[in-house]
């Protein structure tokens, strides 16, 4: 598939003046199969940052959108492997592992969330699975076709408070996932592409499986 005339909008939500070296070097080292436009949203509020990037994407002439968080380390062939999938799957993300919790590093792929708050409840069992899989809930760093972003009702990212206003009532990323699905698009994960998550240490698939008794 010739992607040289396609344009990818890379949104970086970063309110800081610096980024981790691991992110920086992985970002500039990636091979680019298409034209790439990069924008940074410096707002201190995460939802505003994300919404600004999506609005700027819609104002651009780019075909695809990807949010790239600065707490991830990207493989050199990240764009080569993911961009060709967007036209077919419309919404797709790589595999990411979360921080240490309940004696393992859980993959950020969930089959069930709490009904009211959308808090993650049941991680999807991906042990031994490969390839591309439709999933109920993923994360927010998703590759999306332009048609998807245009159909998601605004505000695309939205902060929901508890009735007393003292806490969040809905998980922001999963509320975003819900809006994508309500717009008519399933969400896919490519289990063969893994980004390292910069938590206390970089968490990769190999690291997760080593310390989580084989992983999930």
Please give the Cα distance from 70 to 24 (Å, whole number): 8
Please give, one letter per residue, the 3-state secondary structure of 19-41. Answer: CCHHHHHHHHHCCCCCEEEEEEE
Task: State residue 123's pLDDT score.
Answer: 81
- Determine the Cα–Cα distance for residues 183 and 119; give it in Å rounded to an integer: 21
Question: Any idea which fold 7-211 has?
Answer: Spore Coat Polysaccharide Biosynthesis Protein SpsA; Chain A (3.90.550)
- In the prediction, which pLDDT does 161 show? 75
Confidence of residue 121 (pLDDT cuts 50, 70, 90): confident
Q: Which two tokens stand for residue 58?
A: 């819609």
The tens digit of pLDDT for each residue in 150-172 reads: 999 999 999 877 777 766 667 78
- The pLDDT tens digits for 167-197 are 666 778 888 999 999 999 999 999 999 999 8
- Residue 109's contacts (CB-CB under 8 Å, 6 or more residues apart) are 95, 123, 124, 126, 135, 137, 138, 189
Rounded to whole angstroms, how far apart are CA atoms 166 and 203? Answer: 32
What is the mean pLDDT of the segment spanning 6-20? Answer: 94
How many of the other CB atoms lie within 10 Å of CB of 210? 12
Residue 82: the pLDDT is 98
**Contacts by residues 200-208 (CB-CB < 8 Å, ≥ 24 positions apart):** 200/99, 200/100, 202/22, 202/73, 203/97, 203/98, 203/99, 203/105, 204/97, 205/95, 205/97, 207/97, 207/105, 208/97, 208/104, 208/105, 208/107
CB-based contact 192:103 (threshold 8 Å): no
Residues in the chain, total = 216
């Amino acid at each position: 598939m010739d992607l040289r005339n396609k344009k990818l909008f890379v949104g970086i939500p970063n309110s800081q003046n610096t980024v981790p070296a691991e992110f920086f070097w992985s970002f500039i080292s990636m091979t680019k199969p298409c034209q790439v436009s990069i924008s940074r949203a410096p707002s201190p509020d995460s939802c505003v940052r994300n919404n600004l990037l999506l609005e700027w994407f819609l104002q651009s002439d780019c075909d695809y959108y990807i949010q790239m968080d600065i707490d991830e380390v990207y493989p050199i062939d990240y764009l080569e492997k993911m961009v060709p999938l967007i036209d077919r799957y419309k919404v797709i993300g790589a595999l990411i592992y979360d921080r240490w919790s309940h004696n393992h590093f859980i993959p950020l792929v969930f089959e069930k969330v709490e009904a009211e708050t959308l808090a993650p409840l049941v991680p999807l069992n991906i042990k031994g699975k490969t390839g591309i899989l439709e999933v109920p809930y993923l994360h927010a760093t998703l590759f999306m076709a332009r048609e998807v972003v245009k159909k998601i009702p605004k505000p695309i990212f939205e902060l929901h408070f508890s009735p007393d206003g003292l806490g969040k009532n809905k998980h922001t990323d999963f509320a975003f996932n819900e809006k994508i699905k309500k717009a008519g698009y399933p969400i896919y994960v490519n289990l063969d592409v893994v980004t390292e998550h910069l938590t206390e240490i970089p968490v990769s698939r190999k690291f997760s499986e080593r310390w989580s008794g084989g992983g999930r």
